[in-house]
Chains A and B, each alone.
Chain A
C-alpha cells in the first residue's frame, strides 16, 4: 500500500460520494443490467413457466442446505489438509517436501471433474468407502486444500527477510520466530485470499452433482429435467449460490481494507 493510494482511498476521505449518490448509481447499474437481461430474453421469445418450477421449492431448499453442509464440512477439512501440506512443504525432509509440492501441482493442474471421477470410482472404490457424501467431502477438502496450502505458503514467504534476521538477532528460537513473527503476519495477509477460496469451494462443490450427490446443482438439474424448462431453475440456482458467496466476498473486501492500515 503506497501513501498515494492511501490518500485517495474512497472510504477514508471526505471527497467520497454521498450515500444518496451511491444508492442512485447502484440502482442505475442494477437497472441497466436488468434491461440487458430482459432484452436478451425478449429476443429469445422464451415461454416462461415458473409455476411448474415453483412446485419443486422444497427440492431447491433441500439441495441448498446440502450444499451449505457439504461446503462447511469440506472447508474445515480443507484447512486441515492445507495446513498439513504447508508444513510438509516447509519440511527439511526432502521426500516430504516433494510430496507436498507434487500434491499441490497435480491438484491445481488438473480439472476437478477428472479428480472427482478418479477419486470416487477408483481410489474410494479400492479403499471401500461406500458413502458418497463422505467421498464428496473428502474430494472437496483435498481439492481446496491444495489452494489453501498455496495461499499459506505465499503468506509465509511474504514475511520480509529482514524480520527473520531481526528475530534471530534478538535470540528467538526457530519456533518462536514462527509463532510470534511469521504466523501472525502470514495469517493476516492470507485472510482475503482465504475468504475468496471459500467462495470458490462453495461454487466448485456443484461439480459433485456428477456422482449423484444430491446437492443444489443436481436438484436444480433434476427440476429442469422433470419440467422440461430451460432457464427457470437456473435463476433460483444462481440466487442460492449468491446468497452464500456474496457475504463471503463482502467479508473479503472488509478484511482487505482493514489490513491496509496494519502494514
Chain B
C-alpha cells in the first residue's frame, strides 16, 4: 500500500468532504413542526412503561397524549435513558421531557420547567436485616447505598452522604436487587416506586416510606421557550380542573392510592 502521498491526500480529502456533507444534511433536517416529540424513559411503571406490544403506556404517556391533543399536534414518544433526557432536550432531539422528572435548581440551570403537576418525596427501601430506620442512620462507614444514576436520589446522596459508600446504578431493577440480596443496605428513591419495589421483594426488603425530602415533578422544555411554557401551564391547569389527574390516579395507581391513604400520606397529584 504505497500510494503517492499527494493522491492519498486527495483521496482522504474527497472522502472527508463526502462525510461532512452527510453530517450537515443529516443534522439540518429540522423536525416536523406538527409533531410533538416527548422524551421519557419507559422503565418506570406505572408512569412510563410499555405494554406487551411494545407500545408506550402509563400516566406520563396519557399526559403527553392529552397535551399533544391540546396543542393540536401529533405525538411521538422517544424512549431515552433518564440521564440522557436533558442532553437530548438540549441538543433539540426532543421537544419536551415528561418522565417523572423532579424540578430542581441544578436542572433548571440547563432547562426550563413547567408548573409542577405532582408532589412526592424521597424515601428508603432497606434490606430486611438492617437496623436502619431513618435517613440519619444511613451515613455511616460500612453502609452501602444504592441509587439510580442521575435521579434526585443520586443528587441527594452526592450532596449529603459523607461516610457511606454510594453505588450508582443505571437500572432501578438492579438497585432493588442489590438491596434484596443484601449487597446494598438501602436504596434512595421516591415513595411510589419504593412501595412497588417492596411489593416485588416483600420477603427480603422493608420500605421506610416517610419522605425526607419534598419534590415536585414538572414537564421539562428547552430554555427560553416561554410561549410553549405558558401553553403547557394552561393545559395542566385545565387538565387538573377537569379531573384528568384524578382519573389517571384511579386508572394506574389505585393500589398505591389506597395504601398511601391508609398510611396517612397525602396522595400525589
Residues from 148 to 183 in A contacting B, C-beta threshold 8 Å: none
Per-residue interface assignment for chain A, residues 196 to 234, with 1 indicating a CB less than 8 Å from any chain B CB and 0 otherwise: 000000000000011110000010011011101111000
Stretch of B66-74, B82-90, B118-126, B243-251 at the chain-chain interface? B82-90
Per-residue interface assignment for chain B, residues 11 to 30, with 1 indicating a CB less than 8 Å from any chain A CB and 0 otherwise: 01100100110011001100
Counting chain B CB atoms within 10 Å of each CB, the highest count among A24, A33, A46, A212 belongs to: A212
Contact A121/B16 with A47-B90, A212-B146 known, Cβ cut-off 8 Å: no
Contact A33/B87 with A28-B9, A43-B23, A121-B177 known, Cβ cut-off 8 Å: no
Check if A1 is an interface residue, CB within 8 A of chain B.
no
Give Cα distance in the complex from A194 to B28, angstroms: 43
B174-A8 in contact (CB<8A): no
Give Cα distance in the complex from A20 to B194, angstroms: 65
Residues of B in contact with A, size category: 35 or more
Instruction: Give the chain B neighbours of A28 by CB distance below 8 A.
Output: 9, 12-13
Check if A32 is an interface residue, CB within 8 A of chain B.
yes
Give Cα distance in the complex from A209 to B170, angstroms: 8
Nearest B residue to A29, CB-CB? B12
Contact A44/B91 with A25-B8, A35-B20, A221-B149 known, Cβ cut-off 8 Å: yes
A222-B23 in contact (CB<8A): no
Check if A36 is an interface residue, CB within 8 A of chain B.
yes
Per-residue interface assignment for chain A, residues 118 to 140, with 1 indicating a CB less than 8 Å from any chain B CB and 0 otherwise: 00010001000010100000000
Check if B169 is an interface residue, CB within 8 A of chain A.
yes
* Nearest-Cβ distance from residue A76 to partner chain B, whole angstroms: 26
Give Cα distance in the complex from A230 to B109, angstroms: 14
Give Cα distance in the complex from A222 to B171, angstroms: 14
Check if A62 is an interface residue, CB within 8 A of chain B.
no
B27-A228 in contact (CB<8A): no
Picked from B2, B87, B174, the residue with its CB within 8 Å of the CB of A211 is: B174
Check if B107 is an interface residue, CB within 8 A of chain A.
yes
Instruction: Give the chain A neighbours of B2 by CB distance below 8 A.
Output: 8, 10, 15-17
* Nearest-Cβ distance from residue B154 to partner chain A, whole angstroms: 6
Picked from A8, A15, A226, the residue with its CB within 8 Å of the CB of B158 is: A226
Check if A102 is an interface residue, CB within 8 A of chain B.
no
A121-B13 in contact (CB<8A): no
Instruction: Give the chain A neighbours of B1 by CB distance below 8 A.
Output: 10
* Nearest-Cβ distance from residue B257 to partner chain A, whole angstroms: 31
Instruction: Give the chain A neighbours of B87 by CB distance below 8 A.
Output: 224, 228-231
Main secondary structure of the interface of B (DSSP, over half): helix
Residues from 227 to 250 in A contacting B, C-beta threshold 8 Å: 228-231
A210-B149 in contact (CB<8A): no
Contact A33/B16 with A39-B24, A43-B23 known, Cβ cut-off 8 Å: yes
A39-B5 in contact (CB<8A): no
B24-A43 in contact (CB<8A): yes
Check if B58 is an interface residue, CB within 8 A of chain A.
no
Check if B34 is an interface residue, CB within 8 A of chain A.
no
Instruction: Give the chain A neighbours of B177 by CB distance below 8 A.
Output: 121
Contact A228/B109 with A121-B181, A212-B146 known, Cβ cut-off 8 Å: yes
Picked from B12, B83, B169, B171, the residue with its CB within 8 Å of the CB of A224 is: B83
Instruction: Give the chain B neighbours of A211 by CB distance below 8 A.
Output: 169, 174
A25-B83 in contact (CB<8A): no
Check if B227 is an interface residue, CB within 8 A of chain A.
no
A210-B5 in contact (CB<8A): no
Check if B65 is an interface residue, CB within 8 A of chain A.
no
Check if A40 is an interface residue, CB within 8 A of chain B.
yes
Check if B167 is an interface residue, CB within 8 A of chain A.
yes
Instruction: Give the chain A neighbours of B27 by CB distance below 8 A.
Output: 40, 43-44
Give Cα distance in the complex from A88 to B138, angstroms: 49
* Nearest-Cβ distance from residue B7 to partner chain A, whole angstroms: 11
Can you sample 9 A-B contacts with CB below 8 Å? A16-B2, A25-B8, A32-B13, A121-B181, A212-B178, A221-B170, A225-B154, A226-B158, A230-B91
Add 19 more A-B contacts to A44-B27, A132-B183, A228-B106 (CB < 8 A): A10-B1, A15-B2, A28-B9, A28-B12, A32-B13, A36-B16, A36-B19, A39-B23, A40-B23, A40-B27, A43-B28, A125-B181, A210-B174, A211-B174, A212-B146, A221-B168, A222-B168, A226-B158, A231-B87
Interface residues of A (CB under 8 A from B): 8, 10, 15-17, 21-22, 24-25, 28-29, 32-33, 35-36, 39-40, 43-44, 46-47, 117, 121, 125, 130, 132, 209-212, 218, 221-222, 224-226, 228-231
